[in-house]
């Protein structure tokens, strides 16, 4: 039984490796923006779950020949703050604006999780769940925001911050699960795997 | 200006490196048990602060010749649960008992921080602070506890768990700063450095 991570995120891979699992990484080619556009009326929790499921299902279809016995985990993270749902800023000016807007405030980082189980080449079950973690942002100075943007770290992560990198200096605290903020909740993944009959420790290397 | 980490903890070093600082590591030879014994009436917060200060001051004295311009950071972490202050379990049976006692319960992970600043070989200032983070433990099965003990990870960490390793599967959530649980709070260290006139981004590599 192998765990397949349906994500290109270095953060998610790092969380799993540090927690004793060396997954096979297969990136889905799901068009996230196109899918999100079809879900205009969805709640933030429904949206991240739908995106996580689409990724896990797409990868399950792709790898079933090579890995007939596997659990495929898909995730999608977004920051919900000030009534807005925020993805990856993508470029420097957007990071600056994001931090100006969120400094000293509180947001919710939602991570949707979906797990698909394959047995002897058959998709026998799937499940999903969302972890919501409250983030209390600090108030970095303009010089600190500039240095952070220059590090390039915040450009391609949900909400324009990381918890386990340089962004950690500017997050005062959280209420929830820190691994969910990095991109994959360990306790929720453990529960979802258990629902599908897989003990997480059986996947440890 | 160099940051000197007065700790042998791989967790603390990892947090700092991931957050953009590559510190010089100098381990103090403070006899923690002997010092703690002289502080029998201290509160948990006073105890971790005193231990952090002793480590930072001892290393400052040792390295001042080699690094006349430096900030020395010392830390000490303990888990406060059920009215007890818990350090490193040290051996397998103690980890099993610890997890049996704390499964499904809530504790507080206290990390004391002390920073000493050297300028041209003179100890010009110091400051300290404590970060307290609430930990909501999950309920690992006997098989999961056994697998966790066998990984050796929990033996030599405060409270017999880690947040950023295999222990993360068994922590449902926290309220506070995750980096403080790994052993060094990034936002608190940023504030303490700032108090001593050092912007954390000036230490980034």
Full DSSP string of chain A: -EEEE----HHHHHHHHHTT--PEE------HHHHHHTTTT--HHHHHHHHHHHHHHHHHHHHTTT-SSEEEEEEEEEEEETTEEE----SHHHHHHHHHHHTT-EEEEEEEEEEEEEETTEEEEEEEEEEEEEEEE----HHHHHHHHHT-GGGGSGGG--SSSGGGGGEEEEEE-HHHHHT--HHHHHHHHHHTT--GGGG--
Specify the pLDDT at position B125.
98
Q: Does B190 touch chain A (CB under 8 A)?
A: yes
| pLDDT of A134 higher than 90 | yes
Cβ separation B166–A19 shorter than 8 A: yes
Average pLDDT in the A141-163 region? 95
Q: Tell whether B144 is within 8 A of chain A (Cβ).
A: yes
Contacts of range A82-85, beta carbons closer than 8 Å, 24 or more positions apart: A82/A107, A85/A44, A85/A47
Q: What percent of chain B is modeled with pLDDT above 90?
A: 95
pLDDT in tens, B106-159: 999 999 999 999 999 999 999 999 999 999 999 999 999 999 999 999 999 999
CATH number of the domain encompassing residue B92: 3.90.950.10
| Contact status of B191 with chain A (Cβ, < 8 Å) | no
Chain A partners within 8 Å of B104 (Cβ): none
Q: What is the mean pLDDT of residues A92-109?
A: 97
Residue B124: the pLDDT is: 98
Please tell me whether the interface predicted TM-score (ipTM) of this complex is above 0.90.
yes
pLDDT beyond 90 at B40: no
> What's the total number of domains in chain A?
1
Chain B residues 152-181 with CB within 8 Å of chain A? 163-166, 168-179, 181
pLDDT recorded at residue B55: 98
Q: Which of the following is catalytic: A69, A76, A164, A177?
A: A76
CA distance A11 to A183: 7
What span, in angstroms and rounded, lies between the C-alpha atoms of A67 and A74? 16
CB-CB under 8 Å, A199 with B144: yes
| Residue A76 among the catalytic residues | yes
What pTM did the predictor assign? 0.95
Are A166 and B204 an interchain contact pair (Cβ–Cβ within 8 Å)? yes
List, for residues A57-100, the tens digit of each pLDDT value.
999 999 999 999 999 999 999 999 999 999 899 999 999 999 99
Q: Which domain holds residue A95?
A: 2-203
pLDDT at B9: 93
Does B34 contact A at CB distance below 8 Å? no
């Amino acid at each position: 039984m192998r765990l397949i991570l349906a994500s290109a995120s270095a953060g998610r891979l790092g969380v799993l490796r540090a927690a004793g699992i060396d997954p096979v990484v297969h990136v889905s080619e799901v068009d996230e923006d196109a899918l999100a556009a079809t879900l205009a009326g969805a709640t933030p929790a429904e949206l991240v779950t739908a995106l996580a499921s689409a990724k896990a299902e797409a990868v399950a279809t792709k790898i079933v020949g090579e890995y007939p016995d596997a659990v495929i985990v898909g995730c999608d993270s977004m920051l919900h703050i000030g009534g807005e749902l925020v993805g990856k800023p993508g470029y420097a000016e957007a990071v600056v604006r994001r931090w100006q807007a969120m400094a000293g405030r509180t947001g919710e980082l939602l991570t949707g999780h979906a797990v698909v189980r394959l047995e002897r080449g058959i998709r026998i079950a799937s499940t999903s769940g969302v972890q919501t973690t409250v983030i209390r942002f600090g108030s970095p100075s303009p010089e600190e925001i500039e240095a952070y943007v220059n590090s390039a770290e915040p450009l391609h992560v949900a909400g324009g911050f990381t918890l386990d990198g340089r962004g950690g200096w500017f997050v005062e605290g959280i209420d929830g699960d820190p691994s969910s903020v990095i991109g994959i909740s360990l306790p929720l993944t453990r529960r979802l795997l258990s629902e599908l009959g897989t003990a997480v420790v059986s996947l440890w290397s």
